[in-house]
Amino acid sequence: MKVNPLRKYLRDWALPHFFCPGCGCGQILNLFLRAADEINLDMDKLVAIGGVGCTARIPVYIKAEALHGVHGRTLAWATGIKLHNPDLNVVIFAGDGDIAAIGGNHLIHAARRNLDVNVIVNNNMNYAMTGGQVAPTTPLYLYTTTTPRGNMERTFDLCKLAETAGATFVSRWTTNHPRQIVKSIKEGMDHRGLTFIEIVSQCPTYFGRYALGSSRAEDTLKWIKERTVTKERAEGMSGEELEGKIVVGDFVRKDLPTLGDKYAELEKKAQGEE
């Protein structure tokens, strides 16, 4: 039997995975491993972190050091791990609720500090694991289990939030863009500073079923595709035309000192080594 070459990166005891058929989480796990394989990422130096939610289960399946803990606190752990051992590659797999609502404050400060970690956000536009509740990323007027008359709140633009807070590498793609995702992950792993990669994806079980009236993954993927515009095309569009659109592309690439650089510099000074 032909074995998938990425199978060697998965923990035997954790399989089979718990994702629903057609879920974007499986795609993101696959694309991360593909990127890791292509750059020969040292799995002995990888720490994969997840908070709570369907996406937060991704680290459980990867054969590397993994941390699976409380909701929204992934960046607090990542800060401690990275400052203690700067040689480690730290990757956070977070859902939109985990990183932008409960963990929103950690996100803005990690970005402000330019913490050298990689944040891969699976934005499936709802709180999936807990039953399809409305999230800060749920599009306006769509139905969720907690908005039976439609969502009345404006939607957070996660990439703009990360950029404004100071992230030095920001990209957004959708699960309709596997090649671009692999490329961004490869570049992001090489970047020094806070890497923020948002992937808009399908949760057929809750988002699809409640917001779009279909539990078929392909229907949500089609819905996402119809709303997607590239950054270049968006530049020629008005604010009104961009309402409800998913703008994809590479938004930020900056080379700035990281929190770890500053920490090392101050430590040297304190020890009179200047």
CA distances from 143 to 11, 97, 213, 239, 246 (A): 37, 16, 9, 24, 18
> DSSP string covering 138-191, please?
SPTT--BTTBTT---SPPP-HHHHHHHHT-SEEEEEETT-HHHHHHHHHHHHH-
- Under 8 Å between Cβ of 77 and 91: no
Which is nearer to ligand SF4, 20 or 108 (by Cβ)? 20
**Letter for the amino acid at 165?**
A
- Under 8 Å between Cβ of 38 and 186: yes
CB of 60 to ligand SF4, least distance (A): 13
- Under 8 Å between Cβ of 128 and 95: yes
CB of 221 to ligand SF4, least distance (A): 12
Which is nearer to ligand SF4, 19 or 61 (by Cβ)? 19
Residues that contact ligand SF4, how many (by CB under 6 A): 12
As given in the structure block, the two tokens for residue 198 are 């948002």
- In the shown chain, the binding pattern of residues 126 to 155 toward ligand SF4, with x for contact by CB under 6 A and - for none, equals --xx--------------------------
Q: Which of 9, 25, 60, 167 binds ligand SF4 (CB under 6 A)?
A: 25
Which is nearer to ligand SF4, 18 or 141 (by Cβ)? 18
60 touching ligand SF4, by CB under 6 A: no
Q: Packing angle between helix 74-84 and helix 104-113, nearest 10 degrees?
A: 30
As given in the structure block, the two tokens for residue 5 are 């070459």
> What whole-number distance in Å separates Cα of residue 59 and Cα of residue 231?
30
23 touching ligand SF4, by CB under 6 A: yes
14 touching ligand SF4, by CB under 6 A: no
> What whole-number distance in Å separates Cα of residue 108 and Cα of residue 126?
20
Cross-strand bridge partners of residue 62: 10
Which is nearer to ligand SF4, 119 or 129 (by Cβ)? 129
Which is nearer to ligand SF4, 114 or 124 (by Cβ)? 124
Tell the residue number behind the tokens 């808009």, with chain if given. Answer: 200
206 touching ligand SF4, by CB under 6 A: yes
Region of 15-23, 79-87, 150-158, 259-267 interacting with ligand SF4 (CB under 6 A)? 15-23
**Beta strand pairing status for 228-230 and 89-95?**
unpaired
CB of 267 to ligand SF4, least distance (A): 42
Region of 166-174, 181-189, 199-207, 230-238 interacting with ligand SF4 (CB under 6 A)? 199-207
59 touching ligand SF4, by CB under 6 A: no
203 touching ligand SF4, by CB under 6 A: yes
204 touching ligand SF4, by CB under 6 A: yes
Which residues make up the interface to ligand SF4 (CB under 6 A)?
19-20, 23, 25, 54, 124, 128-129, 203-206
